[in-house]
C-alpha cells in the first residue's frame, strides 16, 4: 500500500513533492523518454538540414555567414545528442543531453533569428513551445531552460536595429507565452502523474488480487480440512485434496456426483440451504454423509454462500466428528447405562420414568411399573461365584429386554434389582398376567459353565394413575408390593394395595425393636430338656428363644416370627443364640454339670447366610466348647428352599464336626423321605401335633409308630416332642420311642435354672408291664 503523502503533487509544476516518487516516475518512463528524445533529436537534425534550403536565400548576404554555421551547429549537436541518447543509462544523463541540445540550439537559433525574417519571428515564438512541451525535462529545468532559451532567442531577434517598434510587444508576447507554457506544462505534468499513479494503483491491486487468488487456491488445495464447492442445485464445482481423500473417491467421480448422493438424509441439505439463504453462513450444521466405500460418517458442516461465475454456490468445510460423537456416545452410555447388562441405569430410568409419567398425565394413559428383584441372588453369588452372578444378571437382563417392546423401558437399578415401565394398552387388570409371564421367563433354567443355576424373582407392581401419580410415590408403592412379595415367600408378583403401607410400617417397627432387643440382650435361650424315656436320664436340651420384653413380659417365638424369617434378622438372631448357648455350655462344663447335647433351631432364612456352619464352629471354638455338644434342628422346609445347595454344604460341615442334625416337626412338612437319605440327618423329632392324641387317636398313633419304626430302620434317634402326659409318655415308651421332650418333664428353663433342674429328682415312669410273651 502506497503512503498517500507520497502521492501529493506540487501546485506549480505538477510534479510529485516526494522526490523518491518523482524519481521512480521518471525512471519508469526512461525507455519512453529515450525513445522520445531520439525522435526529437533526429527530427531536429533532419529538419535543420532541410532548413539549409531556406537559409540559402541569404547566400551572398552577411547573414549567411551567421546562419550557415549556426544551422550546421544545430544539425551537428542534434546528431550528437541523437547518438548520445542511446547510450544514457539514467534520467540525469538524459537530462544533461537535453539541456546541451536545448541551450546549443537556443544559442544557434538566437543567431539565426537575427535575420528578422517572418520565419525568424515565428521561430522565436514557436521554439519555446517545443522546449516547454516536447523536451521532457524536470519542471525546474523546463522553466529555467525554457525561459533562458526564450531570452536568448529574443535577444538574438532584437539585436537588429529595425525592431524597436515591436520589441516591447514581442517581449510581452514571449513573457505571456512562457507563462502560458508553464501552466500547460504544470497541467500536463499533473495529468501524467495522476494517470501514472492510477495505473500503478490498478496494477498493484491486480497483483494483489492475483497473489491472494493464488494464495487462496494454494490454501484451498492444501488445507487438511475437506472443502467442497457446490452449486445450489447440488452439482459439485470443486473439491480440495482433503475432500477427495475424505470421501475416498477420485476427483472426477466426486466432480460428477451430485452432493445429494453424499447425504444420508437428503432433507438435511434442504435445511442447510434454507439456513444459508437466511443467515448467509452456517457454522455448525450436523449431518451424516456416506463415503465412497459406503461407510457412514457424522460430520459438522461450516458453509458460506459464495458467488461462482455469477451463480450462487456454497463452499462447505466438512469436519469429521464420528469419533467425537462415538466418544460422546460412550461417555453418555457410561453415565446412563449399567456396564454389566447395558441396560439403562437408575439415573436414566429416573428421567425416562418422569418423562413417561408426564406424557401419561398429558394423554390420560396408564403406566405400569414392575419392580423386579431376583430371589436368593446373594446366595448364587456366594456359592457359585461372582462370574455366575454376573452371567445370571446378564441373562435376566437379556430375557427382560427380549420380552418387552421397544417403547417399554427396562432398567437395572443396581444389585439384583430391575425395573420395567410398560405403557398402554396395558391396564391394571392385566398387569398381574404380564408379571407372571415375566416370572415364568425368569424361572426358565439357566446353565452356567455346564451347571444349571436356579433362578427366580419377586415382583412388585404399581400402576399410574390408580395407585399414585408422582414418580417417587409410585416407586415407593412398587417397592412395598415387592417387599410384600418377598415376605409372602418370594417367587411371586404382588400388586400394590394401600394397606401394605401399614404392614410394612409394622414390619419396620418390629425389625427395629428386635434389633434393639438383640443389642440389649433381651433375647435369651431357654432350655427344654430331652429325656431318655427308659432311664429318665436327661440326654440334652433344646435351646428355645425367648424375648424378655420389658413391657410385654416373656415372649415366645410366635410373637416375633420376623426374627426367624427375615434373612438379615435371622442371621443376627442365629449368631446371638449360638453365642449364648456356647457360653452356657461352657459354664456348665466348667461347673461339672452334665448338660448333654444342646440343640439350636435353624430356620430356612438362616441358611441363606452362607458362612453359617463356619461361623457356628468359630463361635464354639472361641467359647471353648467341643462341637459335639451342639445339635442343630432343622425343619423339612429347608430342603425345599432355593438355598438347598448350601443347606447341604452347611449340614455336611456340621456333620463332619460331630454336630448332630435333627429333623424337627417331622410329618408336618412336605419333604420327601428321599431327603432323609440325601441329607446327613441323625435324629427325627416327631411333631407335637401327632403326640397330642397319640394315646387316644389311632391315626396319630399309627403315624407315630410308623415314624419310630422308620427311625429305627434308618438308624436314627427318634425324639417325641410336646409330651404333656404320662399316658403319652407311656405309649411312646411302649412303642419303642427312645427319647421325649415336653412340658411333662419340664417347661423351657432359664439357663440359671438348668443346674438346679438337673440336680432335682425327676419323673420316673412306672415300669412296663411284663410282656405276656
Ligand atoms: P420347635 O423347635 O418345634 O420347638 C418346640 C416348641 O414346642 C417350643 O415352642 C416349645 O416351647 C414347645 N413345647 C415344648 N413342650 C411342649 C408341650 O409339652 N406342650 C406344648 N404345647 N408345647 C411344647 P416355642 O418355644 O414357642 O418355639 C416355637 C418354635 O419356634 C420352635 O419349634 C422353633 O421352631 C422356633 N424357635 C424357637 N427358638 C428358636 C431359635 O432360637 N431359632 C430358630 N430358628 N427357631 C426357634
Ligand atoms: Mg426345635
Ligand atoms: Mg418342633
Site to probe by mutation for ligand 1, drawn from 563, 601, 605, 641 as the one with most ligand atoms within 8 Å of Cβ, is 601
Give the number of the atom of ligand 1 that is nearest the alpha carbon of residue 544. 38
Task: Give the C-alpha distances (Å, rounded to integers) separating 485 from 140, 482, 559, 568.
Answer: 118, 5, 22, 17
Cell digits of residue 656: 463332619
Q: What is the pLDDT of residue 770?
A: 64
* Cα within 13 Å of Cα(288), Cβ side: 9
Instruction: Identify the three-state secondary structure at position 225.
Output: coil
Decide if pLDDT at 59 tops 80.
yes
CA separation for the pair 724, 738 (Å, rounded): 16
Cell digits of residue 35: 525513445
Tell whether ligand 1 has an atom less than 6 A from the beta carbon of residue 748. Answer: yes
Tell whether ligand 1 has an atom less than 6 A from the beta carbon of residue 544. Answer: yes
Per-residue pLDDT, averaged over 21-25, amounts to 90
Beta bridge partners of 159: none
Site to probe by mutation for ligand 1, drawn from 546, 557, 578 as the one with most ligand atoms within 8 Å of Cβ, is 557
Per-residue pLDDT, averaged over 226-230, amounts to 89
CB 558 within 8 A of CB 544: no
Categorize the per-residue pLDDT at 212 as very low, low, confident or very high, splitting at 50, 70 and 90.
Answer: very high
Report how far ligand 3's centroid is from the alpha carbon of 165 (Å): 170
CA separation for the pair 528, 598 (Å, rounded): 9
Decide if pLDDT at 472 tops 60.
yes
Site to probe by mutation for ligand 1, drawn from 544, 576, 661 as the one with most ligand atoms within 8 Å of Cβ, is 544
Tell whether ligand 1 has an atom less than 6 A from the beta carbon of residue 708. Answer: no
Give the number of the atom of ligand 1 that is nearest the alpha carbon of residue 665. 3
pLDDT over 90, % of the chain? 59
Between 271-275, 642-646, 653-657, 756-760, the lowest mean confidence (pLDDT) is in: 642-646
Q: What is the pLDDT of residue 260?
A: 75
Cell digits of residue 217: 487456491
Give the number of the atom of ligand 1 that is nearest the alpha carbon of residue 603. 44
Tell whether ligand 1 has an atom less than 6 A from the beta carbon of residue 638. Answer: no
Decide if pLDDT at 391 tops 60.
yes
Per-residue pLDDT, averaged over 678-695, amounts to 92
Residues 6+ apart with CB under 8 A from 256: 236
Instruction: Identify the three-state secondary structure at position 751.
Output: helix
Report angle CA 614, 621, 759 to the nearest 5 degrees. Answer: 120
Decide if pLDDT at 347 tops 70.
yes
Decide if pLDDT at 668 tops 90.
no
Q: What is the pLDDT of residue 164?
A: 67
Tell whether ligand 1 has an atom less than 6 A from the beta carbon of residue 629. Answer: no
Tell the residue nearest (CA) to atom 42 of ligand 1: 601
Tell whether ligand 1 has an atom less than 6 A from the beta carbon of residue 395. Answer: no
CA separation for the pair 474, 465 (Å, rounded): 9
Between 69-78, 157-166, 269-278, 572-581, the lowest mean confidence (pLDDT) is in: 157-166
Per-residue pLDDT, averaged over 758-763, amounts to 85
Residue scoring higher pLDDT (370 or 500):
370
- Report whether the peptide linkage leading into residue 31 is cis, meaning its omega lies within 30 degrees of zero: no
The answer to whether the Cα torsion of 358, 361, 365, 370 is positive or negative is: positive
Categorize the per-residue pLDDT at 660 as very low, low, confident or very high, splitting at 50, 70 and 90.
Answer: very high
Report angle CA 468, 474, 480 to the nearest 5 degrees. Answer: 115
Tell whether ligand 1 has an atom less than 6 A from the beta carbon of residue 529. Answer: no
Tell whether ligand 1 has an atom less than 6 A from the beta carbon of residue 664. Answer: yes
CA separation for the pair 99, 101 (Å, rounded): 5
Give the number of the atom of ligand 1 that is nearest the alpha carbon of residue 744. 18
Radius of gyration of the chain (CA): 62
Q: What is the pLDDT of residue 618?
A: 95
Per-residue pLDDT, averaged over 34-41, amounts to 93
**pLDDT for 72-83, tens place per residue?**
999 999 999 999
pLDDT over 70, % of the chain? 95
Which residues hold their Cβ within 5 A of ligand 3, which is an ion?
664-665, 721
Beta bridge partners of 459: 372, 493
CB 338 within 8 A of CB 412: yes
Q: What is the pLDDT of residue 670?
A: 64
Report how far ligand 2's centroid is from the alpha carbon of 517 (Å): 22
Residues 6+ apart with CB under 8 A from 349: 409, 411, 413, 419, 421
Between 46-60, 247-261, 740-754, the lowest mean confidence (pLDDT) is in: 247-261
Place of cell 434317634: 717
Q: What is the pLDDT of residue 772?
A: 47
Per-residue pLDDT, averaged over 411-440, amounts to 92
Report angle CA 329, 335, 341 to the nearest 5 degrees. Answer: 90
CB 575 within 8 A of CB 613: no
* Cα within 13 Å of Cα(111), Cβ side: 19
CA separation for the pair 399, 271 (Å, rounded): 42
Instruction: Identify the three-state secondary structure at position 572.
Output: helix
Torsion of CA 614, 616, 620, 621, to 10 degrees: 20
Instruction: Identify the three-state secondary structure at position 453.
Output: strand
Task: Give the C-alpha distances (Å, rounded to integers) separating 130 from 52, 146, 147, 353, 524.
Answer: 20, 9, 12, 103, 142
Cell digits of residue 356: 413417561
Per-residue pLDDT, averaged over 75-98, amounts to 93
Q: What is the pLDDT of residue 671?
A: 59
Tell whether ligand 1 has an atom less than 6 A from the beta carbon of residue 564. Answer: yes
CA separation for the pair 545, 750 (Å, rounded): 10
Tell whether ligand 1 has an atom less than 6 A from the beta carbon of residue 742. Answer: yes
Run of H or E residues at 31: helix 30-55
- In the chain, helix, strand, coil percent, each to 5? 55, 20, 25
Per-residue pLDDT, averaged over 345-360, amounts to 94
Report how far ligand 1's centroid is from the alpha carbon of 727 (Å): 22
Q: What is the pLDDT of residue 3?
A: 66
Q: What is the pLDDT of residue 672?
A: 65
Question: Which residue from 471, 483, 528 is spatially nearest to 355, judged by alpha carbons?
Answer: 471
Q: What is the pLDDT of residue 455?
A: 85
Cell digits of residue 392: 445370571
Q: Where are the beta strands (DSSP E) in 135-272?
A: 227-231, 236-239
**pLDDT for 500-547, tens place per residue?**
888 878 888 999 999 999 999 999 999 999 999 999 999 999 999 999
Per-residue pLDDT, averaged over 671-685, amounts to 84
Report how far ligand 2's centroid is from the alpha carbon of 490 (Å): 24
Give the number of the atom of ligand 1 that is nearest the alpha carbon of residue 741. 15
pTM for the complete prediction? 0.53
For residue 529, the ligand closest to its alpha carbon is: 1
Question: Which residue from 81, 74, 178 is spatially nearest to 124, judged by alpha carbons?
Answer: 178
Tell the residue nearest (CA) to atom 41 of ligand 1: 545
Label each residue of 546-558 as H, E or C: EEEECCCEEECHH
Q: What is the pLDDT of residue 649?
A: 87
Run of H or E residues at 718: strand 717-720
CA separation for the pair 356, 352 (Å, rounded): 6
Tell whether ligand 1 has an atom less than 6 A from the beta carbon of residue 633. Answer: yes
Report how far ligand 2's centroid is from the alpha carbon of 576 (Å): 17
The answer to whether the Cα torsion of 741, 744, 747, 752 is positive or negative is: negative
CA separation for the pair 214, 65 (Å, rounded): 71
Categorize the per-residue pLDDT at 264 as very low, low, confident or very high, splitting at 50, 70 and 90.
Answer: confident
For residue 557, the ligand closest to its alpha carbon is: 1
Residue 598 backbone zone (phi > 0: left; psi -120 to 50: alpha; other: beta):
beta
**Cα end-to-end span (Å), the chain:** 144
Mean pLDDT value across the chain: 89
Q: What is the pLDDT of residue 773?
A: 40
CB 166 within 8 A of CB 123: no
User: Per-residue DSSP letters for 356-417?
Assistant: HHHHHHHHT--EEEEEEEETTHHHHHHHH-HHHHHHHHHHHHHHHHHHS-TTSEEEEEETTE
Report how far ligand 1's centroid is from the alpha carbon of 111 (Å): 163
- Report whether the peptide linkage leading into residue 146 is cis, meaning its omega lies within 30 degrees of zero: no
Residues 6+ apart with CB under 8 A from 291: 246, 247, 248, 249, 297
Amino acid at each position: 500500500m502506497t503512503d498517500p503523502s507520497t502521492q501529493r503533487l506540487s501546485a506549480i509544476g505538477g510534479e510529485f513533492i516526494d522526490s523518491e516518487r518523482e524519481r521512480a516516475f521518471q525512471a519508469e518512463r526512461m525507455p519512453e523518454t529515450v525513445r522520445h528524445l531520439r525522435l526529437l533529436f533526429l527530427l531536429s537534425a533532419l529538419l535543420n538540414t532541410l532548413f539549409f534550403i531556406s537559409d540559402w536565400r541569404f547566400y551572398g548576404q552577411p547573414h549567411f555567414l551567421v546562419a550557415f554555421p549556426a544551422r550546421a551547429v544545430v544539425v551537428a549537436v542534434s546528431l550528437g545528442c541523437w547518438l548520445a541518447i542511446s547510450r544514457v543509462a539514467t534520467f540525469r544523463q538524459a537530462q544533461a543531453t537535453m539541456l546541451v541540445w536545448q541551450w546549443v540550439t537556443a544559442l544557434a537559433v538566437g543567431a539565426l533569428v537575427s535575420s528578422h525574417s517572418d520565419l525568424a519571428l515565428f521561430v522565436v515564438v514557436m521554439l519555446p513551445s517545443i522546449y516547454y512541451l516536447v523536451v521532457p525535462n524536470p519542471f525546474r529545468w523546463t522553466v529555467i531552460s525554457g525561459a533562458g532559451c526564450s531570452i536568448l532567442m529574443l535577444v538574438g531577434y532584437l539585436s537588429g536595429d529595425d525592431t524597436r517598434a515591436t520589441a516591447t510587444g514581442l517581449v510581452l508576447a514571449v513573457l505571456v507565452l512562457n507563462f502560458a507554457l508553464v501552466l500547460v506544462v504544470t497541467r500536463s505534468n499533473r495529468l501524467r502523474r495522476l494517470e501514472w499513479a492510477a495505473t500503478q494503483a490498478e496494477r498493484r491491486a491486480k497483483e494483489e488480487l492475483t497473489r491472494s487468488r493464488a494464495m487462496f487456491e494454494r490454501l484451498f488445495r492444501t488445507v487438511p480440512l475437506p472443502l467442497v464447492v457446490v452449486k445450489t442445485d447440488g452439482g459439485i464445482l470443486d473439491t480440495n485434496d482433503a475432500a477427495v481423500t475424505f470421501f475416498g473417491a477420485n476427483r472426477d467421480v466426486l466432480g460428477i456426483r451430485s452432493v445429494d448422493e453424499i447425504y444420508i438424509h437428503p432433507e438435511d441439505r434442504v435445511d442447510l440451504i434454507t439456513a444459508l439463504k437466511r443467515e448467509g453462513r452456517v457454522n455448525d450444521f450436523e449431518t451424516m454423509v456416506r463415503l465412497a466405500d459406503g461407510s457412514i460418517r457424522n460430520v459438522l458442516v461450516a458453509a458460506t454462500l459464495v458467488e461462482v461465475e455469477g451463480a450462487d454456490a456454497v463452499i462447505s468445510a466438512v469436519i469429521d466428528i464420528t469419533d467425537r460423537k462415538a466418544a460422546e456416545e460412550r461417555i453418555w452410555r457410561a453415565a446412563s447405562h449399567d456396564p454389566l447388562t447395558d441396560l439403562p441405569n437408575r439415573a436414566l430410568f429416573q428421567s425416562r420414568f418422569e418423562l413417561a409419567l408426564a406424557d401419561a398425565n398429558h394423554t390420560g394413559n396408564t403406566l405400569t411399573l414392575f419392580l423386579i428383584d431376583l430371589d436368593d441372588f446373594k446366595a448364587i453369588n456366594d456359592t457359585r461365584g461372582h462370574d455366575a452372578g454376573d452371567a445370571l444378571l446378564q441373562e435376566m437382563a437379556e430375557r427382560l429386554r427380549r420380552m418387552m417392546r421397544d417403547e417399554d423401558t427396562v432398567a437395572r437399578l443396581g444389585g439384583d434389582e430391575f425395573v420395567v415401565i410398560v405403557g398402554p394398552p396395558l391396564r391394571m387388570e392385566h398387569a398381574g398376567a404380564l408379571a407372571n409371564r415375566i416370572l415364568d421367563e425368569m424361572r426358565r433354567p439357566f446353565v452356567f459353565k455346564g451347571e444349571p443355576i436356579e433362578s427366580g424373582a419377586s415382583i412388585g407392581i404399581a400402576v399410574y394413575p390408580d395407585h399414585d401419580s408422582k414418580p417417587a410415590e409410585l416407586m415407593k408403592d412398587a417397592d412395598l408390593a415387592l417387599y410384600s412379595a418377598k415376605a409372602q415367600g418370594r417367587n411371586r408378583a404382588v400388586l400394590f394395595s394401600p394397606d401394605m403401607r401399614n404392614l410394612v410400617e409394622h414390619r419396620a417397627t418390629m425389625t427395629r425393636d428386635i434389633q434393639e432387643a438383640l443389642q440389649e440382650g433381651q433375647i435369651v435361650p431357654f432350655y427344654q430338656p430331652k429325656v431318655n424315656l427308659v432311664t429318665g436320664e436327661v440326654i440334652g436340651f433344646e435351646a428355645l428363644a425367648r424375648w424378655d420384653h420389658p413391657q410385654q413380659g416373656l415372649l415366645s417365638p410366635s410373637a416375633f416370627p420376623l426374627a426367624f424369617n427375615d434373612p438379615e434378622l435371622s442371621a443376627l438372631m442365629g449368631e446371638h443364640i449360638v453365642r449364648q448357648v456356647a457360653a452356657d455350655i461352657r459354664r456348665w462344663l466348667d461347673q461339672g454339670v452334665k448338660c448333654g447335647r444342646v440343640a439350636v433351631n435353624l430356620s430356612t432364612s438362616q441358611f441363606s447366610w452362607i458362612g453359617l456352619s463356619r461361623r457356628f464352629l468359630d463361635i464354639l471354638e472361641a467359647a471353648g466348647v467341643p462341637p459335639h455338644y451342639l445339635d442343630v434342628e432343622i425343619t423339612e422346609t429347608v430342603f425345599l428352599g432355593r438355598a438347598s445347595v448350601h443347606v447341604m454344604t452347611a449340614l455336611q460341615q456340621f456333620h463332619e464336626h460331630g454336630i448332630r442334625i435333627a429333623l424337627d416337626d417331622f410329618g408336618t412338612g412336605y419333604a420327601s423321605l428321599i431327603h432323609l437319605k440325601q441329607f446327613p440327618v441323625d435324629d427325627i423329632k416327631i411333631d407335637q401335633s401327632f403326640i397330642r392324641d397319640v394315646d387316644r387317636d389311632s391315626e396319630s398313633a399309627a403315624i407315630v409308630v410308623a415314624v419310630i419304626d422308620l427311625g429305627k430302620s434308618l438308624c436314627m434317634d427318634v425324639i417325641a416332642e410336646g409330651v404333656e402326659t404320662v399316658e403319652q409318655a407311656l405309649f411312646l415308651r411302649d412303642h419303642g420311642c427312645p427319647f421325649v421332650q415336653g412340658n411333662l418333664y419340664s417347661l423351657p428353663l432359664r439357663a440359671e435354672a438348668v443346674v438346679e433342674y438337673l440336680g432335682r429328682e425327676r419323673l420316673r415312669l412306672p415300669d412296663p408291664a411284663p410282656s405276656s410273651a
